[in-house]
Structure 1
Amino acid sequence: MPDLDVRIDEKRFGEAVILRDLTFSAQRGEFLALVGPSGVGKSTLLHLIAGLDTHFDGSVHWHGTPLHHHPQAPKSLGMMFQEPRLMPWLSALDNVRLVLSGTEAEGDRARMLLQEVGLGHALDAWPNQLSGGMQRRVALARAFAVAPRLLLMDEPFVSLDMPTGNRLRESLLELWRRDRPLVLFVTHDLREALALADRVLFMSEPPARIILDYVVPLERPRQLEGTAIAKLQEQLFAHHPDLLSGALDAPSESRDKP
């Protein structure tokens, strides 16, 4: 039985059908990336899985328990968005503590996480004293503070310069390897997806569904700018030239490899 089982029969915004017949499953410890054209509903899908939006036909289950009902949402659900969403009146440390109960042990965990993402020197800094990359590091530490079993990430490193983004990706993978949550990571960058994920789920144009569930065949560690990622991307485009536009040019089975 999969740890996460997603079945979206239909999701609408008014008359517009955004998602239809979208299904996939995953196990705890997997790292999945969601890729597709802009505006196809990747963020919407994360909101449905998180229970932030329950107005859809279908179901989302974690260990057999429905996540599409607010009372059933697990406490061990972590989220990280495109924007850091830090409280400007709280220090970096207090922004991480915000999702915790306030015990001394959890305060120590917050400090440890900030040290692990390279912010041990900035525990008392206000958000407006931190660079954009540093604010994302605080948000990353906060996402892991609850020891998530399921972590939803909505383009968390978008618009960052390459060195800063790479440092954050390394921090993410280090925390993931240690805690082994199931990660669903939305990105518009195929190279980022191939560098981070075990599986890449490609979404079609709306009404969106999963058109390819692709197992990344590369061993870890992987370099985003390395030749192996570039070659793998070329192979994908050779087999499916319209994949990133939300179209699949030839029939393909789930868990496909080129």
Structure 2
Amino acid sequence: MRDLDIRIHAKRFASRLVLHELGFGADDGEFLALVGPSGTGKSTLLHLIGGLDDDFEGSIHWGGAPLHRPGEAPERLGMMFQEPRLMPWLNALDNVRLVQAGSTDGEGRAMALLHEVGLGDAIDAWPAQLSGGMLRRVALARAFVVAPRLLLMDEPFVSLDMPTGNRLRDLLLDLWQRDRPLVLFVTHDLREALTLADRVLFLSSPPARVVLDYHVPLPRPRRLEGSEIAALQERLFERHPDLLSGMLEVR
């Protein structure tokens, strides 16, 4: 069994079947990207793994045991969403510290991470005083402040301009390569997936399942706008022209 083992037999919203016989495994330290058509259930899957929704048929195991236990939060789980979700009444430092519990050096680690993401001069700033890119950097620091073993990221860099997005992707990879959590990263951008991930999981249209588990053959570092990523994307579409429509059938 892999470190993380996902077996979702069925996830429904009312009578609508959203996920069906969706399964995959991953090992500690891997970086996986999840891509697929809009509305296919990528965010729903992250919510199940993160324990935000427990209404499903199936199992989610970490290290051979259920990831979630009744009344207990998963140990060292980090999350980052499409929106930064900062508390407007807390400054940058306190927003990062918000997820810490019982840490003996919580403030020191939070301050170090804010410096690492380039916000050493904005520790006392309120969210309303920060740009969109700076808000995402606070959220990124908050995701890593718990030293996560499992990090769930739901389109965290969506809607950012290319230079800002590239800086944040570089920061993410720097932090990931240092701490080596297992990352599950949802994106609609195949180039972003191929740039960041060790493996890309392609989901079908609903009811969603994994139709292709693709191991990215390129060494790091990779550039999203680089020719190698463009060529790799082109080869994927030549081989699987319906890849992102969710209609791919594995042969």
What range is the shorter-chain TM-score in? over 0.9
Cα distance, 1:154–1:215 mapped onto 2, change above 3 Å: same
**What residue in structure 2 maps to residue 60 of structure 1?**
60
SS in 1 for 2:137: helix
In the alignment, which residue of structure 1 is the partner of 2:43?
A: 43
The normalised TM-score by structure 1 is 0.95
Question: How large is the RMSD of aligned CA atoms in angstroms?
Answer: 1.2
Taking the aligned partners of 2:196 and 2:215, their CA distance within structure 1 comes to 12
CA shift digits 1:99-128 (9 cap, x unpaired): 113656221100010111110110000000
State the distance in 2 between where 1:6 and 1:211 align. 15
Name 1:216's counterpart in structure 2: 216
Residue matched to 2:197? 197
Q: For each residue in 1:43-90, what CA deviation from the matched residue of structure 2 results, as whole angstroms up to 9, or x when unmatched?
A: 000001111111100000011121244435422000000000000000
- Where in structure 2 are the equivalents of 1:154-193 lying within 5 Å? 154-193=154-193
Q: Deviations over 1:23-58 (max 9, x none)?
A: 000001000000000000000000011111111000
Q: Which moved more, 1:94-103 or 1:11-20?
A: 94-103
Q: Distance in 1 between matches of 2:47 and 2:157?
A: 18
Q: Which runs of 4+ in 1 moved over 6 A?
A: none
Q: 1:70 to 1:191 in 2, by over 3 A?
A: farther
Distance 2:152 2:70 in 1: 16
Partners of 1:54 and 1:69 within 8 A in 2: no
The separation in 1 between residues aligned to 2:143 and 2:70, in whole angstroms, is: 19
Output one character per residue of 1:167-190: Cα deviation in whole Å (capped at 9) or x when no partner.
Answer: 000000000000000000000000
Structure 1 match to 2:22:
22
1:65–1:72: 8 Å Cα contact kept in structure 2? no
Partner of 2:131: 131
Partner of 2:109: 109
Whether the 8 Å contact between 2:202 and 2:212 is mirrored in structure 1 is yes
CA distance in 1, matches of 2:210, 2:68: 20
Structure 2: which 5+ residue stretches go unaligned?
A: none
> Residue 8 of structure 1 aligns to a residue in which SS?
strand
Q: Greater CA deviation, 71-80 or 184-193?
A: 71-80
TM-score relative to the length of structure 2: 0.97
Query: Which secondary structure does the structure 1 equivalent of 2:229 belong to?
Result: helix
Look up the SS of the partner of 2:121 in the other structure.
Answer: helix
Amino acid at match of 2:196: L
Corresponding residue number in structure 2 for 1:244: 244
Structure 1 unaligned blocks of 5 or more: 252-258
Corresponding letter in the other structure for 1:91 = N
For 2:30, give the aligned amino acid: E
Equivalent runs, 1:3-22 vs 2, <5 Å: 3-22=3-22
Query: 2 CA distance for matches of 1:121 and 1:23?
Result: 44
1:51–1:70: 8 Å Cα contact kept in structure 2?
no
**Contact 1:12–1:18 (CA under 8 A) maintained in structure 2:** yes
1:231 aligns with 2:231: yes
What is the one-letter code of the residue matched to 2:245?
Answer: S
Percentage of matched positions with identical amino acids? 73
